[in-house]
Amino acid sequence: MSKLSHVDSANRPTMVDVSGKLVSEREAHARSVVKLPQEVLSQVTDDEISSKKGPVFATAIIAGVMAAKKTHELIPFCHPLGLDSCKVVIEIDGDSAVIDCRCSVTHKTGVEMEALTGASVAALTIYDMLKALSHDIVISETKLMSKSGGKRDFERE
C-alpha cells in the first residue's frame, strides 16, 4: 500500500512539504455534472437560465472561479496558490449541465484541488439558484479529468 501524502510517520495529519520540489507549469481539468429535471430544462434559453436570483450559469461560473482561488481556505493542508488561469465552462448535454473547470499555475504543487473545488462550487451554485424550481436536481459526479506538470500526469479515458 502506498503512503498517504498528508500523514506523517506518526500517522498524524500534516501539510506536504514542497520546499524541495521544482517549480513547473501545472494544469488540471475537473468536471461536475448536474442532472436537471424537465421543469428546469424547459427554462433554458440561449444556453442560460434566468432566475429571480439572476443568470444561473453566469453566476455559477463566477462562483466556481472564486472558489478555486480560495481552495486553501476550504481544504485543510492545501497550499495557497496564485492561479495563473481558471476557466469555468458550463454546457447543456442532454438532461445535464456539464461544468468544466480548468486551472493552471506555475508552482511547486499542483492545481487538482482548485479545479475540483471550482467545478464543485459551480455545481452547488446551480443547485442553489434552481432549487425553487425543483428539488429533483442531482449533482451526479465530480471528477478529475486530467492533470499535468507534477510528479506524474493523469488523463481520464
* Whole-number Å distance between alpha carbons of 126 and 88: 13
Terminal alpha carbon distance of the chain: 24
How far, in Å, are 15, 116, 128, 135, 154 from residue 146 at the CA level?
23, 11, 27, 31, 5
Residues noted as catalytic? 128
Say how far apart CA 99 and CA 25 lie, in whole Å: 23
Euclidean distance between CA atoms 22 and 132, whole angstroms: 48
In three-state secondary structure terms, 47 is coil
